């Protein structure tokens, strides 16, 4: 479905730029060596953007009364307000052009969660903070798929993030033209089995949302739909849900497969369900049968190809 260029925001240090406090970087091999073949990156280093030098003293989040500073360990040089202002500007001026964002974990400016907040004396901390820049990006763009570099080492979270990026890009393409119930319904039908694999109830609820629309406010309908879709896809699909989805797909071939072929497919699905083989094994078999026995409805299902095959994301889940 997706054709135009996908743009993803990324913390500049993850792109290999030497912008960290120690003049180093934290290059993400997955982002820069694999995913970069399919996307363009817009790089951000909020700390440099607000005037901090390279190299520079470390900064941390420090709780002072009811406020939180982003400052040096001695409490000086608070850049919290500048980081917030910069984050708001990027969130409102550029983030709408992005289809995802990869943040640097543990950073007081870019971390998505569990950032250490120190007490004023520097003798203790809690891990409850959010990076000041990342917070603004996520606050002003709640549907934007966001992830941290460390979490992308988890194959399930990596696959889920990339899938959501491509889904969101497809939605952005759809919204380039006037929205209508017909176009929304077509979009929903293409995501039927991907939704089923992640959240069957959400699939039913979103279908009902479209089916009961009274024609009053299509823009509101579109907003409600994409909010529900992105929320449903945020949790990685379980083996149980994927297996049930594969069984649904198997039903399309019950009249065209011989007894041996049916058993082979059932066995592949069962082996996946039991954790003996990755998802691509039964899925490849289903796609083979689809090629031999074409089905126009199934051909349009995003579930089969939610992102480029050469990323090999289903080899590890």
User: How many beta carbons lie within 10 A of that of residue 93, not counting itself?
Assistant: 9
Say what the pLDDT of residue 124 is: 84
Mean pLDDT in residue range 210-224:
90
Q: At what angle do helices 155-174 and 218-233 cross, to 10 degrees?
A: 170
CB 137 within 8 A of CB 146: yes
Q: Rounded to the nearest 5 degrees, what angle is found at the Cα of 29, between the Cα atoms of 98 and 12?
A: 50
CB 143 within 8 A of CB 44: no
What confidence tens digit (pLDDT) does each residue in 55-108 have? 999 999 999 999 999 999 999 999 999 999 999 999 999 989 999 999 999 999
Which of 51, 40, 52, 31 is closest to 7 using CA atoms?
Answer: 40
Whether the pLDDT of residue 40 is over 90: the answer is yes
> How far apart are the C-alpha atoms of 217 and 309, rounded to whole Å?
38
CB 168 within 8 A of CB 143: yes
Whether the pLDDT of residue 1 is over 70: the answer is no
What confidence tens digit (pLDDT) does each residue in 231-286 have? 999 989 999 999 999 999 999 999 999 999 999 999 999 999 999 999 999 999 99
> How far apart are the C-alpha atoms of 89 and 108, rounded to whole Å?
18
What confidence tens digit (pLDDT) does each residue in 107-124 have? 999 999 999 999 998 888
Please tell me what DSSP assigns to residue 36. Answer: G
Return the SS3 of 102: strand
Say what the pLDDT of residue 214 is: 82
Whether the pLDDT of residue 3 is over 80: the answer is no
- Put simply, whether the predicted model's pTM sits higher than 0.75 gets the answer yes
| Average pLDDT, rounded, for the chain | 96
Tracing tokens 């065209």 back to the chain, one arrives at: 256
User: How many beta carbons lie within 10 A of that of residue 260, not counting itself?
Assistant: 8
What confidence tens digit (pLDDT) does each residue in 97-111 have? 999 999 999 999 999
Distances (CA, A) of 69 to 28, 74, 143, 310: 28, 11, 28, 44
Whether the pLDDT of residue 49 is over 70: the answer is yes
Q: Is residue 197 very low, low, confident or very high in pLDDT (cuts 50, 70, 90)?
A: very high
Say what the pLDDT of residue 307 is: 97
What confidence tens digit (pLDDT) does each residue in 131-190 have? 999 999 999 999 999 999 999 999 999 999 999 999 999 999 999 998 899 999 999 999
Q: What is the 3-state composition of the chain as percent helix, strand, coil, each rounded to the nearest 5?
A: 55, 10, 35
> How far apart are the C-alpha atoms of 214 and 101, rounded to whole Å?
36
Which residues, in sequence order, are CB contacts of 148 under 8 Å at separation 6+? 102, 103, 104, 105, 111, 112, 113
Please tell me what DSSP assigns to residue 30. Answer: I
Phi and psi at 65, nearest 5°, equal 65, -125
Mean pLDDT in residue range 286-291:
97
DSSP track, 292-303: HS--HHHHT-GG
Which of 141, 181, 183, 180 is closest to 164 using CA atoms?
Answer: 141
Whether the pLDDT of residue 2 is over 70: the answer is no
Q: At what angle do helices 239-250 and 259-273 cross, to 10 degrees?
A: 170
Whether the pLDDT of residue 215 is over 90: the answer is no
E strand map for 200-312: none
What confidence tens digit (pLDDT) does each residue in 178-188 have? 889 999 999 99
């Amino acid at each position: 479905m997706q054709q135009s260029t996908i743009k993803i925001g990324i913390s500049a240090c993850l792109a290999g730029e030497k912008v960290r406090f120690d003049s180093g970087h934290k290059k993400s091999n997955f982002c820069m060596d694999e995913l970069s073949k399919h996307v363009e990156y817009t790089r951000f280093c909020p700390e440099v953007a607000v005037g901090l030098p390279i190299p520079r003293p470390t900064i941390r989040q420090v709780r002072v009364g009811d406020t939180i500073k982003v400052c040096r360990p001695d409490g000086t040089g608070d850049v919290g307000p500048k980081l917030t202002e910069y984050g708001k500007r990027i969130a409102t001026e550029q983030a709408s052009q992005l289809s995802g964002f990869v943040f640097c974990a543990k950073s007081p400016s870019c971390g998505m969660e569990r950032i250490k907040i120190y007490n004023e004396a520097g003798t203790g901390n809690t891990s409850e903070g959010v990076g000041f820049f990342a917070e603004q990006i996520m606050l002003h763009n709640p549907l934007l798929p966001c992830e941290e570099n460390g979490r992308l080492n988890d194959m399930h979270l990596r696959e889920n993030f990339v899938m959501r990026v491509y889904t969101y890009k497809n939605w952005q393409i759809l919204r380039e033209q006037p929205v209508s119930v017909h176009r929304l319904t077509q979009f929903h039908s293409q995501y039927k089995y991907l939704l089923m694999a992640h959240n069957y109830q959400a699939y039913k609820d979103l279908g009902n949302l479209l089916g009961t629309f009274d024609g009053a406010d299509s823009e509101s309908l579109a907003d409600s739909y994409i909010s529900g879709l992105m929320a449903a896809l945020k949790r990685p699909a379980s083996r149980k849900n994927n297996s049930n989805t594969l069984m649904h797909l198997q039903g399309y071939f019950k009249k065209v497969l011989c007894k041996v072929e049916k058993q082979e497919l059932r066995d592949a699905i069962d082996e996946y369900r039991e954790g003996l083989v990755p998802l691509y094994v039964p899925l490849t078999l289903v796609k083979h049968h689809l090629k031999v026995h074409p089905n126009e409805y199934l051909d349009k299902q995003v579930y089969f190809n939610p992102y480029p095959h050469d990323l090999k994301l289903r080899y590890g889940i």
